[in-house]
Structure 1
Amino acid sequence: NTASGGEALRNNTTGYNNTAIGSNADVSSGGLINATAIGAYAVVNASNKIRLGDANVTVIEGQVAYTYTSDRNQKENFQSVDGDDVLRKIRQLSLTSWNYIGDDRKQSRHYGPVAQEFFATFGDDGVG
């Protein structure tokens, strides 16, 4: 285990191969394995997982794009949806072209809805 920062990795008891960097960076329970928490008050809650920052973090950036898995084996609680209803909702979203603040608008263009509008349309599915 590796810990750096006041109270870092204080909840670890039997876990191993864990890393906590930052004041109060920690694991949520004492037996996690290969768990990493980076940033003040970052708490990782599962083995083989990396947690960057706490609830105050609003942006995580990197030099290269992050990989997001769409693998069925990484998901659960599948439920059927009405495809016609989903398409109707998508057609109502405002689709725009935009760039992140500080990026060159001619070299870094993105297309699609913004997260807030997508969540307002699809966020409350009655499940959770």
Structure 2
Amino acid sequence: MTNFKGQITLLFLILITAVQAQDSIAYNSDEEISVKKHTVMEKFESDYVLPVAERKRMKIERREVIAHRKSILDTLNISDRRRERLFRELNKNPFSEKVNKQFAEIEFEDEDQDMVNNK
């Protein structure tokens, strides 16, 4: 009986861990996007600073680009370690040299396949 209770407790802990792992940093469109209302640069050079609405629009576009790039990286035929490393790099800097290099390789592969199919 105690073995059964132990198994139930273990199963319960595993399920709780799995549920918490499902909570990701996914960007929902319903989520409120926050940007600084007043920046330091705005105090001195207000002509160089974009308005708040424009900065919010750019932030939404950047999140969409990141989500699109993640979906592309997820479908690539690369090792899991490399994929995870590229995901981390994408989260840090979506337009980093490593990520751009990987996408350039994809484009060249697509062009090579198109050339073979056209012949």
Instruction: Tell me if TM exceeds 0.5.
Output: no
**Larger relative contact order (Cα-Cα within 8 Å, sequence gap ≥ 6):** 2
Max Rg structure: 2
Higher helix share: 2
More strand by share: 1
TM-score if structure 1 supplies the norm length?
Answer: 0.18
TM-score normalised to structure 2 length: 0.19
